[in-house]
């Protein structure tokens, strides 16, 4: 299962797949329009916001191509996920959003 999330430049969720619902517990209607901080553990939000801001400005990430990260499930529990991100460009090649693909670690489903 690979969950797909799309987050606009302001950090608001603008895409949420059914697999994201299954992985993170939030229905699409609960996640859409909310801050991505919904699924970021509180102690990682500052680091995430700094990295996200830099990424949407430059397209350069300090993360490896695939990284392991904790995510907050709707129940409040922490889910370890494998994450990769890619920029989403408009016709003028400006980054307008970030697409994240997440999957549970093996044995964590």
State the residue for tokens 């209607």.
29
Other residues' Cβ atoms within 10 Å of the Cβ of residue 101: 18
The CATH class for the domain spanning 3-104 reads alpha beta
Under the banding of pLDDT at 50, 70 and 90, the label for residue 64 is: confident
pTM for this model (two decimals) = 0.90
Kindly list the domain boundaries of the chain, sorted by start residue: 3-104
Written as six digits, the tokens of 28 are 């699409």
Show the DSSP H helices in the chain as ranges: 18-24, 28-31, 45-58
- 34-50 pLDDT tens trace: 999 999 999 999 999 99
Tokens 């980054």 -> residue = 95
| Mean of the per-residue pLDDT values of the chain | 93
State the average pLDDT over residues 61-65. Answer: 84
Distance CA 40, CA 38 (A): 6
Residue 107's pLDDT band (cuts 50, 70, 90): low
- The residues, any chain, with a CB within 8 Å of residue 11's CB and separated by 6 or more, are 35, 36, 37, 49, 52
């Amino acid at each position: 299962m690979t969950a797909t999330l799309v987050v606009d430049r302001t950090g608001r969720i603008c895409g949420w797949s059914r697999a994201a619902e299954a992985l993170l517990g939030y229905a699409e209607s609960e996640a859409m329009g909310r801050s991505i901080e919904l699924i970021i553990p509180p102690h990682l939000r500052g680091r995430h916001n700094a990295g996200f801001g830099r990424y949407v400005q430059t397209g350069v990430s300090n993360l490896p191509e695939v990284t392991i990260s904790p995510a907050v499930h709707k129940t409040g529990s922490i889910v370890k996920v494998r994450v990769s991100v890619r920029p989403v460009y408009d016709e003028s090649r400006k980054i307008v959003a970030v697409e994240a693909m997440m999957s549970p670690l093996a044995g964590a489903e």
